Every structure is written in C-alpha cells, then in structure tokens.
Amino acid sequence: MRQKGFTLIELMIVVA
C-alpha cells in the first residue's frame, strides 16, 4: 500500500 493510514477514498482506489 502507498501509506499506512488510508482514507475511504483511497481505499476505493486500491480496491478499484
């Protein structure tokens, strides 16, 4: 992952 503390927005980008 890019960073440890990811937000909901970034979570969607990761799972996208």
Q: Tally Cβ neighbours within 10 Å of residue 12.
A: 10
Per-residue pLDDT tens for 1-16?
566 767 888 888 888 7
> Look-up: residue for tokens 């927005």?
9
- In a 3-state reduction of DSSP, which class is residue 8? helix
Predicted pLDDT at 3: 67
